[in-house]
Amino acid sequence: MIKVKKRKFLLLPGDGIGPEVVGEVKKIIQWFNKNKSLDFEIDQDLAGGASYDKHGTPITDEVFYKALECEAIILGAVGGPKWDDIEFSKKPERALLKLRKELKLFANLRPAICFKQLVESSTLKPEIVSGLDIMIVRELTGGIYFGEPRGIKPIDNGERKGINTHTYTTSEIQRVAKVAFELARKRQNKVTSCEKSNVMEAGLLWKEEVQELHDKEYKDVELNHMLADNCAMQLLRNPKQFDVIVTDNLFGDMLSDQASMLTGSLGLLPSASLGAKNKDGEMRAMYEPIHGSAPDIAGKGIANPIATILSFAMALRYSLDLDKEADGLEKAVQSVLDEGLRTKDILSKGMKEVSTSVMGDAIISKLQ
């Protein structure tokens, strides 16, 4: 078994704006090494379309083994129209799915926080989103994205049939629910579990297993069950009723994207994908912004690096237990926003537009 190297980061910038935003994180890691003597080790390699262009595969075995031995991966973004027509198994996004599956990164944490400086950027009324702070915990390695059988096959009448299978087991459900309950204990102590138990047997199992875990180990946490479609509606109607939402892979994919847009910009929101801790307390994890590769603005120096920087803050918190340093980095981001600096995607009247690198440098200048 490959041993995890403490405090080693693997940077996978990926495609589009990925190299630009990950570049700002690299500068921050170097600042911590110089000013806080944290001795972070950095490795960097290709993934996604960049890897396909050079090696003919979205992730090489060499890079995958690097991922196995590092404590955390910082991913930029993968994909883009350039690779739309290549074989499905070699599409850039397959690198992401392989890392999630093979590293057993089963819990995806997606915070949806509305920064007070950017309330006006949301499409909802300020009173609806002001102070919003939701954590969505999405199961990441099961469900319909990975279930078998799957595929497209011809049928007797000359048509074709597409098949995907939605399955979950007790252990898959309970391990991600445990993550949600533990997070809730450190927040507002409230979990909303979402499924479609009214029409799906897998959804009914989800509801029953979450309830059983709650009754056995987490009676102190408030638990509510909600149908996923109702949750989508409630996120628009009254999002501040939620604290932690836990749901499956498919619904989590949709609900987390919806929740992110309540905040005004995808360029601000980080995510973490966590595995289980082994007997030595080691945990593999991957951190990435929730935005895509945005090839239309790649190379222009206008991408917002904040989501990637905040993803690194999550790495400090969840992988390294460096809460103080994570808090300091998050406060630095807030300070820069307070001063009115904005990248193009979040620019508003009276604010100062800055480039990707200037935003990164400004955040570094606020670190203490």
Choosing from 26, 52, 91, 145, the catalytic residue is: 145
Q: Which CATH architecture has domain 111-259?
A: 3-Layer(aba) Sandwich (3.40)
pLDDT band at 5 (very low <50, low <70, confident <90, very high): low
Task: Check whether 348 has a pLDDT greater than 90.
Answer: no
Report the Cα–Cα distance between both ends of the chain, in Å, rounded.
Answer: 39
C-alpha torsion angle, residues 338, 341, 347, 352 (rounded to 10): 120
Distance CA 208, CA 341 (A): 48
Per residue in 277-310, pLDDT (tens digit) is 888 778 899 999 999 999 999 999 999 999 999 9
Q: Is residue 196 among the annotated active site residues?
A: yes
pLDDT value of position 282? 80
User: SS3 for 17?
Assistant: coil
Domains in the chain: boundaries:
1-106+275-368, 111-259
Decide: 142 and 119 in contact? Cβ < 8 Å. no
User: SS3 for 16?
Assistant: coil
Distance CA 87, CA 187 (A): 44
pLDDT band at 21 (very low <50, low <70, confident <90, very high): very high
Other CB atoms within a 10 A radius of the CB of residue 152 amount to 9
Choosing from 15, 248, 253, 345, the catalytic residue is: 253
Q: Is residue 253 among the annotated active site residues?
A: yes
Handedness of CA 197, 200, 203, 208 (dihedral sign): positive
Q: Is residue 257 among the annotated active site residues?
A: yes
Instruction: Judge whether 1-106+275-368 and 111-259 match in fold.
Output: yes
pLDDT band at 217 (very low <50, low <70, confident <90, very high): very high
Q: 1-106+275-368: which CATH topology?
A: Isopropylmalate Dehydrogenase (3.40.718)
Per residue in 107-117, pLDDT (tens digit) is 999 999 998 88
Q: Is residue 321 among the annotated active site residues?
A: no
Distance CA 344, CA 352 (A): 9
Entry pTM: 0.90
pLDDT value of position 264? 77
Residues 6+ apart with CB under 8 A from 121: 263, 264, 265, 346, 348
Nearest of 14, 16, 9, 25 to residue 357 by alpha carbon: 25
Question: Mean pLDDT, to the nearest integer, of 52-58?
Answer: 97
Question: Mean pLDDT, to the nearest integer, of 316-325?
Answer: 93
Choosing from 196, 218, 248, 318, the catalytic residue is: 196
Percent of the chain's residues with pLDDT above 70: 99
